Amino acid sequence: MFLDFIMTAEKISSSQVTLTSDRKVYKLYLAAIGANIISLSLGTAIGWLSPFLPLLISSDSPLQHGPVTDVQATWIASLLCIGAFCGTFLFGWSADKFGRRASLLSTAVPLIGFWTCVAFGTTVEVLYFARILAGLGASGVFLLVPMYITEIAEDRNRGTLGSFFILFLNIGTLISFVMGSYTSYHLTAYVLSTVPLAYLVIFFQFPETPMYLIRCNRVRDAECSLKYLRGYTSTPDHLDMLRSEMDGLLQMQMTTVKDSPEHSTVSLAAFSSPPARKALIIGLVLVSLNQLSGCFALINYTSQIFADAGSDLDPNMAAIVVGAIQITGSYGSSIIVDRYQRKHVYIVSSFLATIGLFVMGTHGYLKSQHIDVSAINWIPVASLSFVIFIASIGLLPLTFVILSEILPPNVRSMGGSLCTAFLWTISFLVVKYFPAMVELIGLHGCMWMFSAVCLSAGLFNAIFIPETRGQSIEQIMHAFENDNKS
């Protein structure tokens, strides 16, 4: 399956840029897949909550002191966000100090710890700690996987490779949904703990990013990394291409040093330049819109929405259906993201999600007014499925693709840390207080609010975010400089 996927992606890339016939880039795709095995592992940790939280609050709870309370359940759900917030700056510092590759490998440690706590823990306090560990892993994965992919990808396939992140995350979530429905609590933990272990073995063979190696003045290592990732051989054409790409990376590094002579100690002062400051503001807005769009909350409350619509689907089966829809949308994103402009895909996705959420809200409002809507009770299920599908194509994955592209290389770790920390703050508030918002303004009111956010996301992208498809990082930075001058 993965081999077919790589071949399809290479065909898409070759339709945009003519390649030397003997240059094979399959190792680049393998590196991207290897890096995203940890995304799949994180997806299993995130998806674990949906099938097993009902078990934990039931009389059949596997914990020593019996079922958890409703308050304890909300903390189990939300502590992941707190752990992620705390770990964001740790992994941001590590990415600059020890490199992208070493830091990515270290994200497996807290995820192994999570599954160990789930497998052998017998108290709710151990589950609290497990969720914090999962959050630590999540912070590293959300920050470092897009960063690594951006720095190894070619301009023509950066979007496709960047979209792997959400695709693999969703695959992991679906695996957890399925295993949670058909296997036991402890067996699930035993089996899924092998995924981060396998990741350590597989990803260890792939190289550090050329951009980071040049930043560390390891020019020879950067050349070796580029040769591996680009499939360059010793032919004259390939050597010319290698020299050209190396010259571009060295020039970018020289420009970075010139603009930020204290780049070795990145701090908030590094955002004093207009392009860096603009990129950070756009990044903070993007991650806010990503979480406030309500898609994450909808996924967590899928069963409730299906039940309110009168669906006969078992809650676990409903979650599996939604997980499959997410994967379909994410796969679609990986296919089209380098064929069409990022702006167009993001804007269309946002506006269609706006319509879907508005329709869901309107159906809920009519039902709250005791109007007979039994003939159209299929609308919430259809609208929810449509919103998750369309958001998985553009609104959700492109947030991380665009964010990793627009941040200047010298502040990418710090900027990514700030944006990721802000994302997890918003995520915590949404997950923790969504039930309270439903009580306050009704489910239909929340749908209308999410619809307004999606509309705002489309308008924000149309006005403020430059097109990045097929452009080098240097060209994107130049576009930001020109915007500020104008």
CB 333 within 8 A of CB 394: yes
Burial class (CB within 10 angstroms; exposed 0-12, middle 13-18, buried 19+) of 9: buried
pLDDT at 12 over 60: no
Burial class (CB within 10 angstroms; exposed 0-12, middle 13-18, buried 19+) of 69: exposed
pLDDT of residue 135: 94
Q: What is the DSSP letter of 18?
A: P
SS3 track for 343-401 = HHHHHHHHHHHHHHHHHHHHHHHHHHCCCCCHHHCCHHHHHHHHHHHHHHHCCCHHHHH
pLDDT at 182 over 70: yes
Whole-number mean pLDDT of the chain?
85
Residue 326 host element (H or E): helix 315-336
Alpha-carbon gap, residue 170 to 332, rounded angstroms: 13
pLDDT of residue 237: 87
**Poorest-confidence range of 307-316, 380-389, 396-405?**
307-316
In one letter, which amino acid is 259?
D
User: C-alpha angle with apex 421: 419 to 424, nearest 5 degrees?
Assistant: 110
CB 345 within 8 A of CB 394: yes
Q: How far is CA 12 from CA 215, 228, 229, 340, 479, in A?
A: 31, 21, 18, 11, 26
> Which tokens hold the place of 62?
């596997």
pLDDT at 100 over 80: yes
Q: For residue 438, name the pLDDT band (cuts at 50, 70, 90).
A: confident
pLDDT mean over 432-457:
89
Residues 438-456: b if buried by 16+ CB within 10 A, e if exposed:
beeebbbbbbbebbbbbbb
pLDDT of residue 6: 47
pLDDT tens per residue across span 40-50: 999 999 989 88
Alpha-carbon gap, residue 202 to 223, rounded angstroms: 22
pLDDT tens per residue across span 361-393: 998 899 889 898 888 878 888 888 899 899 989
Alpha-carbon gap, residue 216 to 409, rounded angstroms: 13
**0.75 exceeded by pTM:** yes
Alpha-carbon gap, residue 256 to 27, rounded angstroms: 29
pLDDT at 458 over 90: yes
Q: Kindly state the greatest CA–CA separation across the chain.
A: 76
Helical H runs in 17-123?
A: 26-47, 49-56, 70-97, 100-106, 108-120
Dihedral class, residue 310 (left if φ above 0, else alpha if ψ from -120 to 50, else beta): left
